[in-house]
Structure formats: structure tokens, C-alpha cells
Amino acid sequence: MRAENFRILGFGRVINRLATLHRSMVYLTIVGMLTSSVFAESPRIWKSPNGTFSVEAEFVGIKNDVVQLRRTDNNYTVSVPMRQLSAADQEYLQQFTKVERHTAEVQKPKISAGHRAEWMEGQWGFRFNMPGMMQPEALASFDVRAMMDQIKVLDTAAWVQINLTQGANGSFYTSPHAELAKHISPDIVPERDLFGEMLDALNRQGFKVMVYFASEGPAMGKHPDKALPGVIENWKEYAKSLKMTPEEAVAEIIVKEYSLRYGTKIAAWWFDHPSFGDIPMLEKAARAGNPNAALAFSVREFSKLTSNDESDFTGGHPTPMKKQKASTEENEVAIEMIEEDNYIDGSLAHFFPPMQETWNSGEPVFETEQAIDWTLRVVKAKGAITWAVALADPKKKKAPLATFQFNQLKAINEAVRKSRE
């Protein structure tokens, strides 16, 4: 973590962000008083975990484990993930976490009119995971027409989520990328643009498209053991040659390229494991091709809906399926939160449960009546819900959707239609 690689967040950008979110002057005044009175600290030396790199800076604030520091050499305010600081620095920051929680409790105004996720209010969608270059044969043979022939009847669904990375593995992709093929490995990106084909087919059918993207990218901060040999090292060297951190390069080189390529065909982005990426840069890159794209960063407090300043709708991640099924009563807390208020900390309340044992495979875990009930409750409360559905052959990644879950989607579709009559 070299000092020059700290990301600079301009003051004007922060003000513009606040204006976009329509926060009241009263809220700004309260937060400003808390920040200036509690977080006023003398400059100190901040170090990376291995102690190799350091910078002198004044502590400004902390939120969602991202630390704001004002450098003494140029007076710029920079944003640094807490995990990129030394153990001593992290221990020092513990004194401020209580203040952070208290500040977060300040009531934010409900946002609706003109909000980027407004089109998702009172709507539902579904998600399936397409094969990436981890399974090149499955990618080459994936049948877009078979998928569309099946799902086109789901005419009350407003969106479909499809993946640019192969699930949570950020080192394999479903769409070509010349820079990755040239500088990292030709084995991680396809020649066929499966993502683009599916995107166009969904748009033609009237579905909006939400992108799933693993924020770790080829750096594989979350899953280093699942990358092809040499990919992580090549990515870090390439980012260094561009004078970027690996996290910055994921946003600038990968996300921005895809965003510009597909433009307004992409209506929303859902970023997984955002703590392994540069959230402000991901936000900017995702909107390069569509300034109105709605974004969600999956900051997690499992079974509860949580958000951050960069999100337009909540990630909605349920309790991990290794602990319990998505259909359990604990996850119903998310539905109840949506019924209480369809905006949470300025983000549209959105829930994202899988219909089966895992995100992409396993036996169904919802009774059809329960799936319908949860969907109708969310739709009635003007929230949003995305159902993650397995493919018919999840191991070989073959279309279309699994029969039982698809029948559940059809039942949801009919129930939503009747509720709107």
C-alpha cells in the first residue's frame, strides 16, 4: 500500500454525492458536528500490514470499515480499507467504532422520487448463473434461445440478473476482454460474447438486466486458491505497470470497459464481496456507460438488509446457506424490514434469496406458497426481490432453468399478475 496509491476522493465529488441523494441540511449539520468534534485527531504515521509502506495523515472518519485520512504532504483526503492497515493502526481505530455506529443511527430521509432504483420499487426479478471460462465448453454451447423460450412467459418480472464473472470467481469471465486476454491470460476470457448475447435477448423480451460482478477480480482476494496459475501475479504486475493498485485496476480496466461497451443495456449492477475492491472506483466505472444504472454493494449483516453510501438498492444477501436454508424464519426478517420501510439508509430495500440449497444447485428449499407469500409481501410494500434459480443441469451449466424452480417462478408470476388486477 504505497502512499501514492491511496485513492483521492475530491471534496466536490462528496458534495455532489450528497446532493444526488437529496439529504437534508439538518442531517448534514448533525453529521458534520459529530465528525468535527469526535474525529479531530493529530496526524500520525499509518502503515501497511507488513510495515513496508507508510504515510503521515490525520484521521478524518470511518464507515463500513473504510478509513478516511487527510494526508499532511498534500492535504488530500484519501480512502483506505481498514484491512489494508497494520494491526497497530486497526487497534487504534477501535476507539472510533462506537462513534461510527452512533453516527449511523442518525435517521436518514426516505428517498424515492428521482432515485436510480425507483424502477425496481414494487417489482421482482430472478437470476441464473451462466458458465464462464472455468467451463469453456459449457460457455461455447450455452443455448440462449432455449433459455428465452422458457423464461419469456414470466412477463411480470421486471429484471433478470446475469453474470459477467463466473459466479464469485473474479478470474473467469463470460464476455471477451482484449486487455485481459493479452496481459493476463487468454484462458480467462472467451471469444464468444455469451453475456452480450444474453443481454440483447433479455432486452428484446422487455427484461431489464442486472449484472452480477465479483469485486475481487483477477486479484482473487477472496478466493486465491481458485485462480489459474499465474493469473494473480500477472494481474498485480499489470496493475503496477499502470500505476494502479489491483483493486483500482479491476474498476478502471475491467468494469469500465464492460460498462462502456454495453451502455444503457445494463440497468443495474450487483457487486459481490465489495470489501475486496475499491468501492468508489467501482461506482464510477459501473456508471461510465450508463449514469442512471442502479448499484448494490453486498455489505453484509446476514438476514438483515444493510447498505452503504454508494448503493441505490440493498444487496439483500441472506444468512449463508452453509448455516441454514434461505427459507428459514430468520431470513424472513428481511421481508419484515421491507414491510416496515421500503428504503433503508437511502437505498431501496431489496432481498436476494436462492430458491434451492445453494446459489446455483441443490434441492429446492421453498414451498411454492412461501415463495409466493414473500414475493407478494415485498411487491405490496414497494420493495424489491430477486430469486436466484439453478440451471436445469447446474454441473454442466446447461440451459434452461431447473423445472421445479421454474414452475415456482410461473406461480409467482401468476400471483403478481392477479394482485395487480
Record the pTM: 0.75
Q: Are residues 347 and 259 in the same domain?
A: yes
Pairing relationship of beta strands 66-71 and 165-166 according to DSSP bridges = unpaired
125 and 25 housed in the same domain: no
| pLDDT at residue 270 in the model | 98
Is the CB of residue 34 less than 8 Å from the CB of residue 103? yes
CA-to-CA dists, residue 319 to 315, 327, 367, angstroms: 12, 10, 18
Q: What is the pLDDT of residue 174?
A: 98
Shared domain check, 52 and 186: no
Angle between helix 403-420 and helix 144-151 axes, rounded to 10 deg: 40
Region 376-398 average pLDDT: 96
Distance CA 398, CA 390 (A): 10
pLDDT of residue 41: 62
What are the grid coordinates assigned to 27, written together?
442531517
| CB neighbour burial string for 270-279, b if at least 16 within 10 angstroms, e if fewer | bbbbbbbbbb
φ/ψ of residue 128, rounded to 5: -135, 155
Instruction: Give 65's Cβ-side CA count (13 Å radius).
Output: 15
Give the pLDDT score at 97.
58
CB 221 within 8 A of CB 245: no
The secondary structure element, H or E, covering residue 27 is helix 25-38
Structural element, H or E, at residue 57: strand 54-63
As for how many domains the chain has, the answer is 2
What is the reported pLDDT for 64? 64
Assess if residue 349 is contained within a domain.
yes
Please compute the mean of the pLDDT values over residues 387-410 and round it to a whole number.
Answer: 96
Say how far apart CA 66 and CA 247 lie, in whole Å. Answer: 14
Q: Are residues 93 and 125 in the same domain?
A: no
Closest residue by Cα to residue 335 from 287, 366, 303: 303
Q: Does the residue 38 lie in any domain?
A: yes
Q: Quote the strand ranges of 254-297, DSSP E.
A: 266-272, 294-297
Looking at the structure, do residues 286 and 392 belong to the same domain, yes or no?
yes
Q: Residue 23 pLDDT more than 50? A: no
pLDDT at 143 over 60: yes
Q: In this structure, is residue 112 part of a structural domain?
A: no
Mean pLDDT of 125-131: 98
User: Which pairing describes strands 350-351 and 384-388: parallel, antiparallel, or unpaired?
Assistant: parallel
Give yes or no for residue 203 having a pLDDT over 80.
yes
28: phi > 0 → left, psi -120 to 50 → alpha, else beta; which?
A: alpha
The more confident residue out of 131 and 23 is 131
User: Which carries the bigger pLDDT value, residue 304 or residue 300?
Assistant: 304
Domain that holds residue 252: 121-420
Domain co-membership, 168 together with 235? yes
Least confident of 88-102, 156-170, 277-291, 391-405: 88-102
Q: Are residues 272 and 360 in the same domain?
A: yes
111 domain residue, yes or no: no
Q: Note whether residue 115 is domain-resident.
A: no
pLDDT at residue 196 greater than cutoff 70: yes
What pLDDT is attached to residue 107? 43
The count of C-alpha atoms lying within 13 angstroms of the C-alpha of 60, restricted to the half-sphere facing its C-beta, is 20
For residues 132 and 84, state if they share a domain: no
248 contact partners, CB below 8 Å, separation of at least 6: 5, 7, 239, 278, 281
pLDDT of residue 122: 98
Give the confidence band of 303 by pLDDT, cuts at 50, 70, 90: low
Q: Do 79 and 138 sit in the same domain of this protein?
A: no
Q: Which of 76, 104, 132 is the last residue of a domain?
A: 104
> Residue 114 above 70 pLDDT?
no
Q: Of 104, 134, 161, which residue is a domain's last?
A: 104
CB 25 within 8 A of CB 14: no
Tell me whether residue 116 is exposed, middle or buried, using C-beta atoms within 10 angstroms of its C-beta: 0 to 12, 13 to 18, 19 or more: buried
Q: Is the pLDDT of residue 2 over 70?
A: no
Beta strands in 281-397 (DSSP E): 294-297, 343-344, 347-348, 350-351, 384-388, 391-393
pLDDT at 216: 95
Among the three residues 77, 104, 131, which one is the final residue of a domain in this structure?
Answer: 104
pLDDT tens by residue, 228-261:
999 999 999 999 999 999 999 999 999 999 999 9
Helix (H/G/I), strand (E/B), else coil: 177? coil
| Same domain flag for 100 and 222 | no
- Phi and psi at residue 86, in whole multiples of 5°? -65, 165
Q: Peptide bond preceding 400: is omega within 30 degrees of 0, i.e. cis?
A: yes
* Shared-domain flag, residues 315 and 368: yes
- Decide if 402 is inside a domain: yes
Note whether 63 and 168 are same-domain residues: no
Per-residue pLDDT, 91: 77
CATH code, domain with 130 = 3.20.20.80
Give a yes or no: residue 272 inside a domain: yes
Question: Among residues 260, 186, 188, which one has the least CA distance to residue 220?
Answer: 188
- Residue 43: CATH number of its domain: 2.30.30.700
> What one-character-per-residue DSSP string does 200-261 give?
HHHHHTT-EEEEEEETTGGG-SS-GGGSPTTHHHHHHHHHHHTT--HHHHIIIIIIHHHHHH
Distance CA 407, CA 421 (A): 22
Task: State percent of the chain over pLDDT 90.
Answer: 67
113 falls within a domain = no
**What is the SS3 assignment for 157?**
coil
pLDDT score recorded for residue 312: 97
Q: What's the chain's Rg over C-alpha atoms?
A: 22
pLDDT of residue 310: 94
When mean pLDDT is compared across 15-24, 279-288, 306-315, the lowest value belongs to 15-24
pLDDT class of 93 with cuts at 50, 70, 90: confident
Average pLDDT of span 159-169: 96
pLDDT digits (tens, 9 = 90+) for 37-60: 344 467 889 888 877 678 888 888
Antiparallel, parallel or unpaired: β 77-81 and 66-71: antiparallel
